[in-house]
Amino acid sequence: MKDELPDLRAMTLADAEAFAIAQGWPRFRGEQVWRWVHDRGARDFDEMTNLPREVRAELAARARVGSLAVAEVQTSRDGTRKLRLTTRDGKSIESVIIPDGDKTTQCISSQVGCAIDCQFCATAKLGLVRNLDAGEIVDQVYIARRLLHDVEPGRRITNLVYMGMGEPLHNYDNVVRSLRILTDDKGAGLSQRRITVSTAGLVPRLEKLGGEDVRPNLAVSLNAPNDEIRDAIMPINRKWNIAALLAALRAYPLEQRRRITFEYVLLAGVNDSLRDAAQLAKLLRGVKCKVNLIPWNPHPEAPYQRPAPAVIDAFQAECKRLGLPTYLRTPRGDDIDAACGQLANRSNGVPLVPLRVRGRAGNITTE
Ligand code: SAH
């Protein structure tokens, strides 16, 4: 939105200090306010109790804090929580909190909708509505921290995955900025080793990410053992094929002892044969990686099916037999449509089928 006050949530610490100086305030005031927002999770200037009242009033006139409102929280029988959050311009996004023993992983969104058009994904059906700004990305984490504090004190977000709605590398600048903010020790202080950015494979952006000072873990949605299958289910493969993708990944400056995660959505009769498994193992030979198999999670808009359990097991066994470390992801929160690929709330006012001809006059409704 134009002419809005700057959002403290979208600022790095350095931005906040520069902001303070530009207002004619001492630099330390920038850090003080930034810590309130990014470490202590203040959502309102009145919470900043160590600031004199006049300073709080002045701040409120020149900046704002945060932007997302909690519209709905759904809790799955397995303890997974899905948050529906509303932006200031009335868009909805979703974020998922997944408890797993001592670990708690939050899955966050980077865009409203998505432009990549993977054929099996519910978010794709929304098309791209807009990018989230850095403040909207980090705010998902702060909201989740608050929620956990209230409903399950003692449980904290330990891991973060950029695997919600959207393609993170398609919203590159805001995503990198959000990583800088969230990993700052003076703020949320999340370890970059516990953050994973997942991409459908935007090759030039992968190359760029390798040159950044923040180094999250990398997950790549491969989903196919060859170009023929990948072209059919992920149109982005026609732009950057598997060879281009693997070349970029081989050149990616991986930190010591880290490996790339490949996600592989299992679609019955499409990419789940033993031949596919063997081809996958061969393709990834020599790449420092592991594979996460994700049995397809159903949603009404796609013509796919989840393979039978025996097929899934055989696929995994074949990969392992050929030396590829392969793990099976159990769906979490699927009873509340919170599992991978099911995030596509219907509240954005866009039809789920992006292009539809309606009525005799043939009106075309698009997002
Ligand atoms: N755009 C990014 C991150 C979002 S998708 C990316 O492509 O990686 C997160 C993961 O969910 C991807 O690996 C994707 O392949 C997978 N996925 C999408 N739809 C799915 C579905 N219906 N069932 C299971 N996994 C799905």
Q: Give which of 127, 110, 295 is closest to 216, Cα–Cα.
A: 110
Assign 3-class secondary structure to the chain: CCCCCCEHHHCCHHHHHHHHHHCCCCHHHHHHHHHHHHCCCCCCHHHCCCCCHHHHHHHHHHCECCCCEEEEEEECCCCCEEEEEECCCCCEEEEEEEEECCEEEEECCCEEECCCCCCCCCHHHHCEEEECCHHHHHHHHHHHHHHHHHHCCCCCCCEEEECCCCCHHHHHHHHHHHHHHHHCCCCCCCCHHHEEEEECCCHHHHHHHCCCCCCCEEEEECCCCCHHHHHHHCHHHHCCCHHHHHHHHHHCCCCCCCCEEEEEEECCCCCCCHHHHHHHHHHCCCCCEEEEEEECCCCCCCCCCCCCHHHHHHHHHHHHHCCCCEEECCCCCHHHCCCCCCCCCHHHCCCCCCCEEECCCCEEECC
Cβ distance 288 to 260 under 8 Å? yes
Is there a catalytic annotation at residue 319?
no
Tokens read off for 80: 């997974």
Interstrand relation of 81-86 and 69-75 (parallel, antiparallel or unpaired): antiparallel
Q: Is 218 in the pocket of ligand 1 (CB under 6 A)?
A: no
Q: Give which of 217, 234, 230 is closest to 168, Cα–Cα.
A: 217
Name which residue sits closest to atom 21 of ligand 1, judged by CA: 341
CA of 95 to the centre of ligand 1 (A): 14
Compute the residue count for the chain. 367
Q: Is 340 in the pocket of ligand 1 (CB under 6 A)?
A: yes
pLDDT at 350: 44
One-letter amino acid for residue 349 of the chain = G
Q: Encode the chain (367 residues) as per-residue pLDDT tens digits.
A: 545 899 999 999 999 999 999 999 999 999 999 999 999 999 999 999 999 999 999 999 999 997 799 999 999 999 999 999 999 999 999 999 999 999 999 999 999 999 999 999 988 988 999 999 999 999 999 999 999 999 999 899 999 999 999 999 999 999 999 999 999 999 999 999 999 999 999 999 999 999 999 999 999 999 999 999 999 999 999 999 999 999 999 999 988 889 999 999 999 999 999 999 999 999 999 999 999 999 999 888 788 999 999 999 999 999 999 999 999 998 888 888 777 767 766 555 443 333 222 222 222 222 2
Q: Is 167 in the pocket of ligand 1 (CB under 6 A)?
A: yes
Q: Is 265 in the pocket of ligand 1 (CB under 6 A)?
A: yes
Tokens read off for 24: 């004619």
pLDDT of 159-194, one tens digit each? 999 999 999 999 999 999 999 999 999 999 999 999
pLDDT of 215-227, one tens digit each? 999 999 999 999 9
